[in-house]
Amino acid sequence: MNHFRTAALDRLAAADPGLVRLRLAGSAVLGIVLAVAALLPTHVPLTVMLVGAIAAMMTAFTVNDATPGGQAVTLVLAFLTGAASITVASLSSALPPMDSVVFVLLIFVAVYAQRFGARGTALGSIGFFLFFFPMFLQAHLAQVPQLLMALAVGVLANAVVRFVLLRHNAEAEFLRVRRAFRARLAAVVRATEAHLAVNGSERTRKQLRHALARLHECVLLIEDAAPDVVDARAADRLRRRAIEVELAVQWLAITVQRTCSDELTTDVRDDLIARLARFRALMERDPRELPLISQTGEYSRMLVEGSRIDSHAAPGDGVRKALAELALADDRAQRAAAPESTVDPLDDEDDDEPTPAFAYDNRTRSAIQAVVGGGLAVLGGELVSHQRWYWAVLTVFVVFIGASSAGATFVKGVRRLGGTLIGIVGGVLLALLVGGNTPATLSLILVCVFGMVYTARVSQVVMAFFITSMLGLLYSLLGTFSLAVLWIRVAETAVGAAAGILAAVVIVPVRTRAVMLDDIVAVLDELAEFLEHSRDLLAGEENVNIIELSRDLDRAVEQVRTTVEPLTHPVNLRSARRDYGWHVLTTLETIAFRARHVAARAQPGMLAGPDTDRLRQFTGRLLANIDVLRKALDAPGGPTPGTLVRDDGTPVSDRVEQAETRAVLSSLSHLDEALVSLGRVFDLQATDPRAPAKK
């Protein structure tokens, strides 16, 4: 029983690092309970009470400022925004078609507000939904004072939960993130076992790739959470060691995949799988028990075996050596025994440019598309139902929030419709199950709210399922439930999704490839900055924390991952486009991986002295290649801006005695190869200075 409980907790920690989503979902549910409890003695109508519950839920879900002070300001602004929306919604509902006109215009404001970051997104969403729900609840102008009171109660309920009952505890969250890191690390090792057991397959390769991506997310969370708990020097050590562990486990995954192509006997394969399983058991220890791994005989045996492997390695020795390196990296991370931290002169620079209030860019185009889509949704929604046309407009808003291209809008629309169809079944079953039982209905509504908030960041289909199921229960609570109403909901969702997709494809369309190219240019900009400062650090000319720069590069690559999803998603039936998207993403991930490797190993002055000129020559060629790539991406389809230059042998890592220095130069060389590979995607030729000239 204890083993089952431990395994379940590990899975929960791995699925939700830091239990952030659990805290948000719990805040939403607890806020609703407090708001309803506060409103019950006032004997207000059920519709008014629901507005208070909705306000508590929306503020818990959308207010995500980085600091408590920022969250408090946003909550005050959320009340003012919500009050304006409720008042206008109640006024315009009595003057059709003003309600539909204002609702569509509000889509523009809400989508455009995303340009102002987390606060803009929160206020835009709150303003939109608190216009929508009074329409859904058929609120009247005479109810506005009560609705505003309910809104204030809902916002205050969330404030009590946020700042008192479920207050953010940085130390506890950091420990949970570390637990999640170890759970995800064990998941990668488990995936390598599965891959090795079947001698490699496409399915296990995808599982391994997914596990590595989830581990990388956790590394970024550690980097974010560490400064809130420890001082700057200790945070730098933790970041460096976490990256070293990630690099080691990625190398283990690469080695296992290569080993699968070797001829292995059954005994060797079983031995490697057993070693991986024993190592995974060490990885899964609670971080509060550290440094247990270094106190085990298994750990010592791995280090000894890894050190004995020479150039005449036997089959499977590569995996054994990779395991030893991972064990060593993990022990160093546990102990946090790092070299002296570096000073980052970039910390004093303010590179963030203020966001312009008015500009014509992708956000503006998305807002224009959303307005057109909303207008089409009103027309189509009226044909389906004169009373519930607003569901179609809501769908348009949902598919445009966070979507940066026509492809992303299409994928979100499909997911929204799919989740709604599945939710119809859930809504009908739940409504029939608890029909007439108000306490049971309220309890299931809270369960649906929890599920909606908990899954919002990971699955739009599941989130839509919980939303639709919750609406079925709300209709039952209001006494208006029927299967016909739910099917109207499906029809309106389909109309809204179609209207949004049509607007995204026809009205000033933003193609997925165009957004992807812009995001790749951003990656190249981050890479160029990383290389420039890495060169100066290795040459001993400045002491800069390039781990921060590698983190910025990771963020830029993560943005490409989000942008390229419409190309790689199974809904894209063109296999050539999917392969294209995966190749671009894989190449960029390789670049980010090598940059992290350099950041983790580089030390000030590592290549100072006679090697500095060769280092400058090498990095100068890399920066020139990046410049050629940027010009090609800025003008796709235009004349070729030049050719890339392959490695001319300047790093000569085999002439360097220090292992750490050779590792850094080797990663720079691999990064160089990845740049050339990226150039091939965009039809850029590469020349080799060492190749003999053709006569």
In DSSP notation, 517-563 reads HHHHHHHHHHHHHHHHHHHHHHTTS----HHHHHHHHHHHHHHHHHH
Amino acid 350: pLDDT: 42
According to DSSP, residue 96 is labeled T
Q: Which residues pair with 644 in a beta bridge?
A: 686
- Computed over every residue of the chain, the mean pLDDT equals 78
Reported for 540-545, long-range contacts at CB under 8 A and 24+ positions apart, including other chains, are 540/604, 540/605, 540/606, 540/608, 540/612, 542/345, 543/342, 543/343, 543/345, 543/604, 544/342, 544/343, 544/344, 544/345, 544/346, 545/236, 545/341, 545/342, 545/343, 545/344, 545/346, 545/347
DSSP state of 645: E
For residues 486 and 592, state if they share a domain: no
Q: What is the CA radius of gyration of the chain?
A: 28
Of 115, 147, 168, which marks where a domain is finished? 168
pLDDT at 552 over 60: yes
Q: Which stretch of 51-55, 382-386, 428-432 has the lowest confidence by average pLDDT?
A: 428-432
Using CA atoms, how far apart are residues 43 and 41, in angstroms rounded to an integer? 5
**CA distances (Å), 110 to each of 63, 134, 354, 463, 465, in order?**
14, 17, 20, 20, 24
In a domain, 382, yes or no: no
* pLDDT of amino acid 6: 57
What's the pLDDT at 572? 65
At 75, the pLDDT band (50, 70, 90 cuts) reads very high
Name the nearest CA neighbour of 683 among 648, 611, 635.
635
Is residue 551, in this structure, part of any structural domain at all?
yes
Q: pLDDT category, 544, cuts 50, 70, 90?
A: confident
Beta bridge partners of 40: none
> Is residue 177 domain-shared with residue 161, that is, in the same domain?
no
- Residue 114 above 50 pLDDT? yes
pLDDT score of 341 more than 50: no
Q: Are 124 and 109 in contact (CB under 8 A)?
A: yes
The pLDDT value given to residue 290: 46
Give tens-digit pLDDT for 228-246. Answer: 666 767 777 777 777 778 8
Residue 686 pairs in a beta bridge with: 644
Does 200 lie in the same domain as 125? no
CA angle 196, 202, 208 (to 5 degrees): 60
Among 204-213, 273-282, 513-522, where is mean pLDDT lowest? 273-282
pLDDT confidence of residue 565: 79
CATH number of the domain enclosing 597: 1.20.58
Min mean pLDDT across 345-349, 395-399, 418-422, 539-543 is at 345-349
Same-domain status, 208 and 313: yes
Torsion 282-283-289-294 (CA) sign: positive
- For residue 283, the one-letter residue type is M
Alpha-carbon distance of 486 to 649, in angstroms, equals 67
How many Å is the maximal CA-CA distance in the chain? 94
Q: Do both 152 and 176 map to the same domain?
A: no
Is residue 370 a part of any domain in this protein?
no
Q: Are residues 157 and 218 in the same domain?
A: no
Query: Which helix (DSSP H) or strand (DSSP E) does residue 644 occupy?
Result: strand 644-645
Q: What distance in Å separates the CA atoms of residue 487 and residue 457, rounded to the nearest whole number? A: 27
**687: helix, strand or coil:** strand
Average pLDDT over residues 211-218: 80
What pLDDT is attached to residue 84? 93
Task: Tell me which DSSP letter residue 165 carries.
Answer: I
**pLDDT at residue number 648:** 62
1 in a domain, yes or no?
no
Whole-number Å distance between alpha carbons of 323 and 310: 15
Question: How would residue 39 be classed by pLDDT, with cut points 50, 70 and 90?
Answer: very high
pLDDT in tens, 268-285: 888 888 888 887 777 665
pLDDT band (50, 70, 90) for residue 347 = very low
**What pLDDT score does 621 carry?**
87
In which domain, by residue range, is 214 found? Answer: 170-334
Has residue 693 got a pLDDT over 60? no
Give strand pairing partners of 687.
645
Note whether 183 and 162 are same-domain residues: no
Cis check for the bond before 291: say yes or no (omega within 30 of 0): yes
Distance (Å) of CA 289 to CA 173, 282, 293, 625: 17, 11, 9, 48
Sign of the dihedral defined by the CA atoms of residues 483, 485, 486, 490, in that order: positive
pLDDT for 358 beyond 70: no
Domain count, the chain: 4
Nearest to 314 by CA among 278, 262, 237: 262
645 beta partners: 687
Residue 501 identity (one-letter amino acid): I
Is 500 contained in some domain? no
What is residue 336's predicted lDDT score, i.e. its pLDDT?
52
**Poorest-confidence range of 41-50, 242-251, 374-383?**
242-251
Q: Is 397 in contact with 111 (CB distance < 8 Å)?
A: yes
- Torsion, CA 232, CA 238, CA 241, CA 245, rounded to 10: -150
Q: What is the pLDDT of residue 291?
A: 45
What does the pLDDT read at residue 551?
79
pLDDT surpassing 50 at residue 548: yes
Domain boundary among 288, 304, 334: 334
Cα 516 → chain centroid: 16
Residue 168 has pLDDT above 80, yes or no: no
Q: Which residue did the predictor score with more confidence, 90 or 328?
A: 90
CB 355 within 8 A of CB 116: yes
pLDDT at residue number 557: 87
pTM above 0.85, yes or no: no
Task: Inform me whether the pLDDT recorded for 292 exceeds 50.
Answer: no
Q: How many Å apart are CA 534 and CA 579, to the nearest integer? A: 33
Residue 101 sits in the same domain as residue 217? no
What is the predicted pLDDT for the residue at 301? 60
Residue 659 has pLDDT above 50, yes or no: yes
Length of the chain: 695
What's the helix, strand, coil split of the chain in %, to 5?
Answer: 80, 0, 20
Residue 624 lies in a domain: yes
Whether residue 245 is contained in a domain is answered as yes
How does pLDDT run across 359-380, given as a tens digit for each residue? 666 677 778 888 888 888 888 9
Residue 695 predicted with pLDDT over 50? no
Does 56 have pLDDT greater than 90? yes
Query: Residue 335 is encoded by which pair of tokens?
Result: 């102990």
The residue type of 212 is L
pLDDT for 299 equals 55
Same domain, 246 and 108: no
613 near 605, Cβ under 8 Å?
no
Answer yes or no: is pLDDT of 295 > 60. Answer: no
How far is residue 564's CA from residue 517's CA, in Å, rounded to a whole number? 10
Extract long-range pairs of 354-362: CB within 8 Å, 24+ residues apart.
355/115, 355/116, 355/117, 359/115, 361/115, 362/404, 362/510, 362/515
* 455 and 313 in a common domain: no
Whether the predicted pLDDT of 145 surpasses 80: yes
Question: Over 80: is that where the pLDDT of 423 sits?
Answer: no
Q: How far apart are CA 551 and CA 545, in angstroms?
A: 11
Q: Is there a single domain that holds both residue 530 and residue 650?
A: yes
Verify that 162 and 216 share a domain, yes or no.
Answer: no
640 within domain boundaries? yes
Per mean pLDDT, which range of 418-422, 467-471, 649-653, 658-662 is the poorest? 649-653
Confidence of residue 249 (pLDDT cuts 50, 70, 90): confident
Q: What is the mean pLDDT of the segment spanning 565-571?
A: 74
Model confidence at 352, in pLDDT bands (50, 70, 90)?
very low
Looking at the predicted structure, is the pLDDT value of residue 335 above 50? yes
